[in-house]
Structure 1
Amino acid sequence: MRVSSCRKITQILRAELDKLVTLPWICLTIMGTFILNLFLAATFTSAGLQAAAGTQSMLNIGLASMRYLQAGFIILGILATCSEYTGGQIRTTLTTIPWRGFQLSMKYLALAVITLPAAFIIAASGILYTFIMMRDTAVGFEIDTIIEALVGATGYLTLTTLLSAAMGALFRRTTPALVVLLGYYFVVSPLTIDFLPKFRSYFPDTAGSYMYIPPSADEINVLTPIQATGVLMLWTLIFITAAIVFYRRRDA
């Protein structure tokens, strides 16, 4: 029975991976995000060179595109779950794989498998480009700090993608999910800086930023990278759990 269950999970995971890899919009979104990140990295690096930035500023400049980069991963997560509802393919999926909880869980796992390397490469490309262009001003360059920031950025983008996928499963439609999430990340959350300064640090986007933004001499991060990771993981698990519960109870 244990071997049969493991084989079943493996087959479902493989099927979900195949579906995600063969979706044209998934590849286009990742490629578009990569190109956008390089463009933003070049823009921020050019501005940094004119300001004669130092080592700490170099890292911040390399990660400056994260604020806009996350939009591509939000879109990626929503497309991964909403694409099957567009043409009614979800009925075929549920006919082939009637175990809804397993099927949606494996979709999230498959999405994480794809997102992790993509997030690492995209985040690293921005940092690497900035370092190459600003190597003459990078005095006292510390590889450990860069690695920690890169790991945090990769984790943040991956968790953001999974949270977005859960929201996509709840809405089951691409446009409403995009409006809600992009509206929150780019409109609502920035407006709460003055209204909810204490609670804002525990919002998904703000807590996630502490995963990769190193503390500066002038300002101390409210959360440590470990605490920030725990907060964002908690948000992600809450939405994933809600998505699975509604997925099992609703009609296709």
Structure 2
Amino acid sequence: MSVSSSRKITQILDAELDKLVTLPVIWLTLISTFIINLALTIAFTSAALQWGAGTQSILKTGLASMGYLQAGFIILGILATCSEYTGGQIRTTLTTIPWRGVQLFTKHMALAIMTIPVAFIIAASGVLYAFMMMRDTAVAIEIDKLIKTLVGVTGYLTLTTILSAAIGAFLRRTTSALMVLLSYYFVVSPLVRDFLPSSKNYFPDTAGSSMYMLPSSDEINVLTPMQGTGVLLLWTLLFIIVAIAFYRKRDA
């Protein structure tokens, strides 16, 4: 890649990052996600303390809200790509940056750069609160296990955000993308997992959960963290490729 091409990609990436960090709706989503996750963690920790903290894992309690936390990052990904269509800003973007494939790919890169530290902080805050409240009674937590779990959670939330952004770019409508993704994650996937347990490891959310969630002793054929990462990464790349292909062919 030439120096000029590298400079162009860097400039586009800087522009996409600047757009993300200056969108009020992005910060509103992140702040709301942090507050709601903390409130849920407080509730789960309180329940664990009342019903026998001695049998509870700090990590399990601190991450008990993950099923709800992922919704905030799904919304974040959708807003990152759909917000430009709301007021027609996408026309300005494509006038300034005519290389559609590069522009959309760098948008996903910028979103990943923004999401990684935020996902880590939000997940770690829940574990930290659980540790502070349960450190005297709960099962001890190992540092290496803590680090691996938080890295897995961060990776899962980041890939989920990017996958959601790709679907948002494909559908181009915030409401439609929200309906599709929230219906899948909270309705369709749980139902399909019950009816087709042998196939559940190939679903993006189930595969992704193995990145941070330790299986129970009675579970079989569970993916390892690396396998789960691979499956979710393949889903994410597939949707990005599809989004870019349609993005290049459509009118603004």
Q: Do these two structures clear the TM 0.5 threshold for a shared fold by scoring above it?
A: yes
SS at match of 1:241: helix
Aligned counterparts, 1:78-89, within 5 A: 78-89=78-89
State the alpha-carbon separation in 2 of the partners of residues 11 and 62 from structure 1.
39
Partner residue, 1:129: 129
Partner of 1:142: 142
- The separation in 1 between residues aligned to 2:54 and 2:248, in whole angstroms, is 53
| CA distance in structure 2 between the partners assigned to 1:76 and 1:85 by the alignment | 15
Give 3-state SS (helix, strand or coil) of 1:32's partner: helix
The reply on whether 1:29 has 2:29 as its aligned counterpart is yes
Report the counterpart of residue 162 of structure 2 in structure 1: 162
Separation in 1 of the partners of 2:215 and 2:144? Answer: 14
Deviation per CA, 1:19-54: give whole Å up to 9, x if none. 011000000000000001100100000011112234
**Residue-by-residue CA offset, 1:46-65 (whole Å, 9 max, x unaligned):** 01111223476321111110
How far is 1:73 from its partner? 0.3
Residue 187 of structure 2 is aligned to residue 187 of structure 1: yes
Matched residue SS, 1:127:
helix
Question: What are the superposed Cα offsets for residues 107-157 of structure 1, whole Å, 9 maximum, x if unpaired?
Answer: 000000100000000000011100110001234421111111111000000
Q: Identity over the aligned pairs, expressed in percent?
A: 75
- What amino acid is aligned across from residue 6 of structure 1 in structure 2? S
Alignment of 1:227-242 (within 5 A): 227-242=227-242
Match of 1:112 in 2: 112
**Contact (CA 8 Å) 2:75, 2:178: kept in 1 or not?**
yes
Question: Is the contact made by 2:123 and 2:154 (CA closer than 8 Å) also made in structure 1?
Answer: yes
**8 Å Cα contact 2:16/2:110 also seen in 1:** yes
Q: What's the Cα RMSD here?
A: 1.3
Distance 2:139 2:196 in 1: 38
Q: When the two structures are superposed, what TM-score results if normalisation uses the length of structure 1? A: 0.97
Gap change, CA 1:76 and 1:23, over 3 Å in 2? same
CA–CA distance in 1 between the matches of 2:214 and 2:200?
A: 18
Contact 1:48 1:58 in 2 (8 A): no
Secondary structure at the aligned position of 1:208 is classed as helix
230-239 or 207-216, which moves further after superposition?
207-216
Aligned to 1:210: 210
Distance 1:72 1:33 in 2: 5
Partner secondary structure for residue 72 of structure 1? helix
Whole-Å separation in 2 of the counterparts to 1:220 and 1:155:
24
Superimposed CA distance per residue, residues 174-212 of structure 1 (whole angstroms, 9 cap, x where no aligned partner): 000000000000011111132110111210111111111
Runs of 4+ off more than 3 Å: 216-221
Query: CA contact under 8 A between 2:48 and 2:56: conserved in structure 1?
Result: no
Distance 2:198 2:251 in 1: 40
Kept in 2: contact 1:210–1:221 (CA 8 A)? no
**What amino acid sits opposite 2:105 in the alignment?**
S
SS at match of 2:214: coil
Q: Is the 8 Å Cα contact of residues 215 and 221 (structure 1) preserved in structure 2?
A: no
The amino acid of 2:127's aligned partner reads I
